[in-house]
Amino acid sequence: MGLNSDDMEQLEDIVKCSRPLHRGDYLFRNGDKFRSLFIIKTGSVKTYTPREDGTERIIGFYLPGEIVGLDAIQQAEHICSAKVLETCATCEIPFRRLEDLASHLPSLQHQMYRLLSREIGYDTEMLMLLGKKSAEERLAAFLLSVSNSFKRRGLSATEFYLSMSRHEISSYLGLAVETISRIFTRFQEENLIQVERKYVHLLNLKRLEDIVLGIHIRSVHQNIEEPLHNEEPLHNIENSLRD
Amino acid sequence: MGLNSDDMEQLEDIVKCSRPLHRGDYLFRNGDKFRSLFIIKTGSVKTYTPREDGTERIIGFYLPGEIVGLDAIQQAEHICSAKVLETCATCEIPFRRLEDLASHLPSLQHQMYRLLSREIGYDTEMLMLLGKKSAEERLAAFLLSVSNSFKRRGLSATEFYLSMSRHEISSYLGLAVETISRIFTRFQEENLIQVERKYVHLLNLKRLEDIVLGIHIRSVHQNIEEPLHNEEPLHNIENSLRD
DNA sequence: AATATTTGTTGATTTAGATCAAGCAAACTT
DNA sequence: AAGTTTGCTTGATCTAAATCAACAAATATT
């Protein structure tokens, strides 16, 4: 991360690790004054804003290692709500104190910029996804981004539970629930994945990647391959921390 | 901006105002090493990445006062190309030196965070737009964001030339060119706007705003109203500079 | 000025995905 | 255990926007 142990200690001093939060708890709500960033240690969180029709529009999902709240610095208040999906351990970093500390620690400073810039990069990725990609491409990209997030945490990249509902996935990807459901079964029929409710087993990463890239071969069974190095739309702090 | 005149002087010292750039010139290209941020003084710029099929996917348009290059800090190289649409005067700010300067000037520091966070906010807005909005809603939002940008510059909010082609607009909004063209004429038929190629006259801002909000009344002629305070998907530095 | 090229508009047709509708399986209630 | 609610799947139908196709207007090229 580019910080020495002394710097690190100072950083740890300002970080508050809160008691576990449970499903449905809020990290913050739309309109709350911005005070802190939150690092997800375990569990998962969704962020969303209300839509005109009262339903919620999912902005993002946050898995362990990821950081929530970066959108609020400018407005000084949160522009979305962050709600716990699965019991979470989180660390809260008071932004004001982080800012002060960073001004004395150039390397922390630099990390902060990278963190923010990375968030922009992820958003840009997501923009590409929503801009012109098909439903299949979107769901494949989503599954791979979750997969990569788990892999980074040292967990299985191919077998995992999704903490979010079909409805939440559909909102995140800008599709209808029914479409998500249909594509899950279609992927299953093509032996790309195996699903049972929230449990997902990715059987053919290579093909899923090809789908994201827009390469669509009609139900040809291909071999499972390579670890791959693909960028993920989820907002991870990990890579930025180790430098 | 929260900086005193002495701070300001220091900032000005590192800013390089380059000779004018002409249509087709690049500020930077995809893959270039990241060195500087660019502020658009006059003219306009588009950013884009190549798509699988070789065509370009527009990421953003930048009008006077806006800042280009914030996406590249993390990767240390540009993830898109920035190409001049209309002859531009730009200021180049070497990022390394800006970072150094900011570490001595807490208020500049803070501005930097806000700037980056705002970019995230804009991207989030755009995500909402591309996620679930209709073609009409997208084009209306686009026109209003351009309008607001001109207004901020003290120019007419209702009459302006678009520096980008229909094709570029369609790519930006994730639609087909034909759709853009049709909606332009539809808006014209409904007396919402008056268009002639790149010249646009907004006749009914209120209705356009309503359309963005998803309120669709079948060809009812309403009154033109209010200045409005709406957030725009374009990436402006202005508001962040005056605090 | 004549020709070619690009850019924008309009119409006809197709299609991906939305919406509507129904049924089923899990998970809460009581 | 029976009933209720919620989440997921599947089928039928509809529709907004894409695609295909042609043409017109503007711009560039000779």
Distance CA B147, CA B159 (A): 8
The Å distance, CA of B60 to C1' of C9, is 25
Residue of A nearest to B231 (CA): A75
- What is the dotted CATH code of the domain comprising A134-212? 1.10.10.10
What would the two tokens of residue B65 be? 């006062």
- Say what the pLDDT of residue B12 is: 83
Q: Is B206 exposed, middle or buried (0-12, 13-18, 19+ CB in 10 A)?
A: middle
- Say what the pLDDT of residue B231 is: 45
Residues pairing with B39 in the sheet: B67, B91
CB B162 within 8 A of CB B61: no
CATH 1.10.10.10 residue ranges in chain A? Answer: 134-212
CATH 1.10.10.10 residue ranges in chain B? Answer: 132-212
- Say what the pLDDT of residue B183 is: 98
- Say what the pLDDT of residue B243 is: 40
- Of B25, B146, B38, B28, which is closest to residue B87 (Cα–Cα)? B25
CB A213 within 8 A of CB A140: no
Closest nucleotide to A135: CA versus each C1' = C17
Q: Which residue has the higher pLDDT, B230 or A96?
A: A96
- Of A76, A70, A59, A73, which is closest to residue A120 (Cα–Cα)? A70
Q: Which residue has the higher pLDDT, A33 or B231?
A: A33
User: Cα distance from A178 to chain B (closest Cα, Å)?
Assistant: 15
What stretch of H or E contains B86?
A: strand B81-94
Distance CA A119, CA A106 (A): 20
Average pLDDT of the residues in B232-241: 45
Q: Is B124 on the interface with A (CB under 8 A)?
A: yes
Q: Which of A51, A124, A240 sits opposite B71 (nearest CB)?
A: A124
- Say what the pLDDT of residue A214 is: 85
Alpha helices in B1-132 (DSSP H): 5-14, 95-104, 106-132
With the C-alpha atoms ordered A171, A176, A177, A180, is the resulting torsion angle positive or negative? negative
What would the two tokens of residue A135 be? 């439903």
Task: Report the alpha-carbon angle B234-A145-A56, nearest 5.
Answer: 55
What would the two tokens of residue B121 be? 């906010």
Check pLDDT > 80 for residue B4: no
Query: B30 CB contacts (<8 Å, ≥6 apart)?
Result: B49, B50, B78, B79, B80, B81
Check pLDDT > 50 for residue B233: no
Distance CA B120, CA A119 (A): 7
Strands (E) in chain B, as ranges, are 16-17, 26-28, 36-50, 56-62, 67-68, 81-94, 159-161, 193-196, 199-202
CB-strand contact A195/D, under 7 Å = yes
Task: Report the alpha-carbon angle A234-A240-B3, nearest 5.
Answer: 105
Check pLDDT > 50 for residue B82: yes
With the C-alpha atoms ordered A69, A71, A72, A78, is the resulting torsion angle positive or negative? negative
Check pLDDT > 80 for residue B125: yes
Task: Report the alpha-carbon angle A21-A17-A23, nearest 5.
Answer: 10
The half-sphere exposure of A217 on its side-chain side, counting CA atoms within 13 A, is 10
CB A56 within 8 A of CB A171: yes
Q: What's the pLDDT tens digit per position in B145-201?
A: 999 999 999 999 999 999 999 999 999 999 999 999 999 999 999 999 999 999 999
CATH 2.60.120.10 residue ranges in chain B? Answer: 5-128+236-241
Check pLDDT > 60 for residue B229: no
Distance CA B117, CA B61 (A): 18
CB-strand contact A165/C, under 7 Å = no
Q: Is A7 on the interface with B (CB under 8 A)?
A: no
Check pLDDT > 90 for residue B238: no
The Å distance, CA of B50 to C1' of D25, is 29
Q: Tokens 């929503």, residue? A: A130
CB-strand contact B180/C, under 7 Å = yes
Q: How many residues does chain A have?
A: 243
- What is the dotted CATH code of the domain comprising B132-212? 1.10.10.10
Check pLDDT > 60 for residue B223: no
Which residues in chain A are contacts of B99 at CB distance < 8 A?
106, 109-110, 113
- Say what the pLDDT of residue B225 is: 43
- Say what the pLDDT of residue B235 is: 55
- Say what the pLDDT of residue A106 is: 87
**Which residue lies nearest C20, CA-to-C1' measured?**
A178
Given pLDDT bands bounded at 50, 70 and 90, which one contains residue B106? confident
Given pLDDT bands bounded at 50, 70 and 90, which one contains residue B222? very low
Q: Supply the mean pLDDT for chain B.
A: 88
Beta-strand pair A36-50/A56-62: antiparallel
Q: Which of B109, B115, B130 sits opposite A130 (nearest CB)?
A: B130
CATH level 3 topology of B5-128+236-241 = Jelly Rolls (2.60.120)
Distance CA B101, CA A17 (A): 33
For chain A (243 residues), the mean pLDDT of every run of 10, in chain order, is 74 86 94 96 95 88 95 92 95 94 89 92 94 95 96 94 96 97 96 94 96 73 43 45 40
